[in-house]
Amino acid sequence: MSKRNEQEEIEQPQRECLQILFDRETTLGELVEQVCRVKRGRRIDVIIPPDHPALASAVAVAYLGQALGVREGVAAVCGDKEIRLQLKRAGMTVRSGESAPADTASSARAFEAWSAGALTMPRKRKSPLLKKSYVIGAVVAAVTGLFLFSVVLPRAEVVVVVETRDVERRERFTADARVQTAPSDVRHLRGTIAEGRAEVTVRVPIDALSESGTRAEGGLAFENQTGNPVDVSPDTPLTSEDGTGYAVAQAVTIPPATVSEDNSVVFGAVAARARAREPGVQGNRASGRLMIGSVPAARQSRVYAVIAFPFTGGANRLGKVVSDAHVAQALPQAKDALKEKLRMIVVPDGDDAWWEVEALTMATTTEVQVQPPIGEEADEMTLTLRGTVTALLLSREDVLWLFELRAQDCAGSLCRLAAANIAPRTIASSGAEGELRLERTVRAGIKADDLARRIAGMSVQDARHLVLSTPQVNDVRIILRRSIRGFLPRDAGKIEIRIE
């Protein structure tokens, strides 16, 4: 028989029935894994040596029978009758060691080839083309990401701080509301006097608890031993020996001391009702002397007040009380809001046709109202301010023409217009006459487009060095966005230049 035919005889039983040896080095789990890796539909004979150490336990034999018995075409070949019986009970097909395939020689050679490693379990191999596609996809994704973060997405913001200087110019003018056309000479600018009234309300919540209650009330007798009258108003502090403050209900005047016909001195005296400045029982007092705060210390022994009627009715209680501190807290905010509202009345936001002259803008607070009054209990205090404004407005176009400027030269807060040598009394309903002073902040001339083209594609360090080497540049700040390379975009259009 030729060698080729002999090889075919060996491969034929391998295709029809695959034999797997359960040798001593193989565990139960590994055996089950080997069987499961074989393609379904193929017959498998598992050769089980009777003396295998893993089969010493009946539990292990039952596990093997259950694990392999669920697969169709798998049979156990074992010479031990007891092991065959246990495997059969577990649901596995069994054969004795003598019930081998018909061609014993071929089966033996196949078994020897398996034991020697010539036959391997069929494994699913990945297609080389699939591996290449994975590699190509990863490379494309990496290149795309690098392109996006290097070219498309990066943006840069460059803030250049340049040197500035203030320039002042003065020009004579005449503002006249009757002028309707552009000025033909320096003395006729379009202008008007604007007036307005406004009201703002600020609410302040009262959260903290403070001493509340009622204030003690009583009567005082004032005495003046000097030759000069003394005025006492409700704002004049009256203080007891322990520091408790009192105030008169109405202003009084203590007459001076006089000399009677019998040459006796008659001290000046007057009576007045008063109350404690703060609520609480500390204001209750039956007698005592009160010092008058407006009287100099050297004369307080001769001008004073004594308690004529006891102070009673003072009571303590904790509550939310409106105080001077709440008013002081809300007043600055209310004044700023009133000033802004008055300005908006005079020159509405977005109206660039008129220019407000600062020196002739007069905003006055005419009324301040606190509700509820100070000393009352409340959860919230309301502060209301009312005010008026009078302002001189000049045509922005005419002012720029007067000082020979362009609109961009006075963008933002670069220009400030004020009046000079003009008294408020010269303002008439038709306008005003006098001298204008224009204060203008001039920045160094840096062309943003040229600078962006020069630093495009540079590293942050190189771009910073180049910008700082430009004359009249004090500082520079460079902010990169969505860049992983630390370089400015190559496209100058993606670089924003701000001059400050």
* Mean pLDDT to the nearest integer, 41-51: 79
Is pLDDT above 90 for 90?
no
Examine residue 147 and state whether it is found in any structural domain, yes or no.
no
What is the model's pLDDT at position 31? 79
Examine residue 171 and state whether it is found in any structural domain, yes or no.
yes
> Are residues 180 and 253 part of one domain?
no
Examine residue 138 and state whether it is found in any structural domain, yes or no.
no
> Are residues 419 and 347 part of one domain?
yes
* Mean pLDDT to the nearest integer, 234-261: 91
* Mean pLDDT to the nearest integer, 294-319: 88
What is the model's pLDDT at position 375? 72
* Mean pLDDT to the nearest integer, 124-142: 66
Task: Look up residue 129 and give its two tokens.
Answer: 């083309």
Lowest mean pLDDT among 224-238, 327-341, 418-432: 418-432
Average pLDDT, rounded, for the chain: 77
What is the model's pLDDT at position 95? 80
The model carries a pTM of: 0.39
pLDDT in tens, 210-219: 766 788 999 9
> Are residues 404 and 491 part of one domain?
no
> Are residues 420 and 283 part of one domain?
no
pLDDT in tens, 153-176: 678 888 888 777 777 888 877 776
> Are residues 488 and 347 part of one domain?
no
Task: Look up residue 217 and give its two tokens.
Answer: 């009330």
Confidence tier at 230 by pLDDT (50, 70, 90): very high
* Mean pLDDT to the nearest integer, 285-308: 92
Examine residue 457 and state whether it is found in any structural domain, yes or no.
yes
What is the model's pLDDT at position 430? 53
Is pLDDT above 70 for 145?
no
Confidence tier at 70 by pLDDT (50, 70, 90): low
Is pLDDT above 70 for 431?
no
Q: Any long-range contacts for 337-340 (C-beta under 8 Å, 24+ apart)?
A: 337/200, 337/202, 337/385, 338/198, 338/199, 338/200, 338/363, 338/365, 338/385, 338/386, 338/387, 339/363, 339/387
Domain-ending residue, one of 297, 318, 339? 318
Classify residue 78 by its DSSP letter.
Answer: E
What is the model's pLDDT at position 460? 85
Q: Could you give the CA distance from residue 401 to residue 394 in angstroms, rounded to a whole number?
A: 12
Q: Which domain holds residue 344?
A: 166-205+323-442
**Phi, psi for residue 488 in degrees, rounded to 5:** -75, 155
pLDDT in tens, 100-124: 343 444 444 444 444 444 344 444 4
Task: Count other C-beta atoms under 10 Å from residue 119's C-beta.
Answer: 18
Examine residue 313 and state whether it is found in any structural domain, yes or no.
yes
Closest CA to 77 of 93, 54, 57: 93
Confidence tier at 3 by pLDDT (50, 70, 90): very low
> Are residues 343 and 308 part of one domain?
no
Examine residue 136 and state whether it is found in any structural domain, yes or no.
no
> Are residues 17 and 102 part of one domain?
yes
69 touches 105 (CB < 8 A): no
Q: Please name the amino acid found at residue 492.
A: A
Is pLDDT above 50 for 13?
no
Which helix (H) or strand (E) is 20 found in, with range?
A: strand 17-21
Query: What is the crossing angle of helices 81-89 and 58-69, to 10°?
Result: 50
Q: Which of the pair, 197 or 444, is modelled with greater confidence?
A: 197
* Mean pLDDT to the nearest integer, 11-37: 71
Examine residue 47 and state whether it is found in any structural domain, yes or no.
yes
- The number of domains in the chain is 4
Closest CA to 420 of 224, 65, 173, 151: 173
> Are residues 410 and 487 part of one domain?
no
Is pLDDT above 70 for 45?
yes
> Are residues 345 and 404 part of one domain?
yes
Indicate the pairing of strand 189-205 with strand 164-176: parallel
Confidence tier at 223 by pLDDT (50, 70, 90): very high
pLDDT in tens, 47-63: 888 777 777 777 777 77
* Mean pLDDT to the nearest integer, 22-46: 78
What is the model's pLDDT at position 127? 58
What is the model's pLDDT at position 425? 43
Examine residue 8 and state whether it is found in any structural domain, yes or no.
yes
Query: What is the crossing angle of helices 3-16 and 104-116, to 10°?
Result: 80
> Are residues 111 and 7 part of one domain?
yes
> Are residues 429 and 349 part of one domain?
yes
Task: Look up residue 264 and give its two tokens.
Answer: 């006796």
Is pLDDT above 60 for 10?
no
Task: Count other C-beta atoms under 10 Å from residue 238's C-beta.
Answer: 23
Classify residue 149 by its DSSP letter.
Answer: I
Closest CA to 499 of 428, 426, 445: 445
Indicate the pairing of strand 495-499 with strand 155-162: parallel
Q: Which of the pair, 116 or 397, is modelled with greater confidence?
A: 397
Q: Which of the pair, 380 or 52, is modelled with greater confidence?
A: 380
Is pLDDT above 90 for 91?
no
> Are residues 430 and 472 part of one domain?
no
Closest CA to 442 of 411, 466, 402: 411
Is pLDDT above 90 for 305?
yes
Lowest mean pLDDT among 228-242, 313-327, 399-413, 422-436: 422-436
